[in-house]
Amino acid sequence: MSYVLGHHQYGKAEVRVVRVFRETRESRHDIVDYNVSVTLSGDFDDAHLSGDQTKVLTTDACKNTVNAFAKSAGEAVRTPEAFALALADHFVDDVPQVTTAMIKVEAYAWERIGDHPHAFRHRGDHVRTVTVRRGEGPATVVSGVRDYVLLKTTDSEFHGFYQDAYTTLQPTDDRVMATSVTAQWAHGSAQDTDWDTSYAAVLDALTTAFADSYSYALQQTIWEMGQRALDAASGVAEIRMSCPNKHHFVVDLSPFGLENHQEVFHADDRPYGLIEATVQRSADVDLSAAYDPGQAWS
């Protein structure tokens, strides 16, 4: 029986690199903190079919490239999108057997302590994410955020839902709504984008839309958040959001002779409802290939 080798890829996962921008020990320093994964596709059939490694760029070389580019790519290193683009261009343009490179970056945020020139503290638990895919054509860029926890204590309802023989959930017109947002947004073009400004605009739009929009369901809130994000960043073609419902249940305090008017809750982490949706400028453009297959959904 004869078999056919299907799609295959390889690379180096989770290269942790921290870059300090400094002129002297005493000067004002800046810092970026990245977790970089490189995935390569191309003319590597022989490595699988016959064990011939002639065309295989080692995964150790991928790691070394990330570290070297953290120095040699200059100002591009300051934003994860620009850094990922520089790496993707190198692997596709400079390694002949590579036809497609996917670079994934997680960026961990640090902020300066006061106005100290070289002391920082970690900022927040959410993670900025980037996926850059470069093949024969122009690179695609998907920015994102993961583990972005949002909560509001009222202005959220959930009622009027379909009920069957297994429905026990009681309708409510006042509840805590909380979620941990994973969002990815695809840019229409990778040219002349101020990545930090665009990221900040989308994150602010998601945040304010969650806070300001009266919610009849998490689904409707996602729709409001997506629209607000597209309004805030003209270069974004679509945004995909995955939002677990972080349930907060009112605790029954009646055994203790106490009333509980939406004041004391039990936060339950599982099981949870998972709501996902895409908000697009146009349904005519298919950007599914741009996303990280480990996070994207369809």
Residues recognised as catalytic: 12, 59, 247
Q: Can you count the helices (H) and strands (E) in the chain?
A: 5, 12
Helices 80-94 and 195-212, interaxial angle, to 10°?
A: 130
How would you label 146-181 residue by residue, b for 16+ Cβ within 10 Å and e otherwise?
bebebebeeebbbeeeeeeeeeeeeeeeebbbbbbb
Helical residues (DSSP H) of 165-236, grouped into ranges: 195-212, 218-232
| Alpha-carbon radius of gyration of the chain | 23
Q: What are the start-end ranges of the E strands in the chain?
A: 10-21, 30-42, 98-107, 110-112, 120-122, 127-134, 140-152, 177-187, 236-244, 247-250, 265-268, 274-280
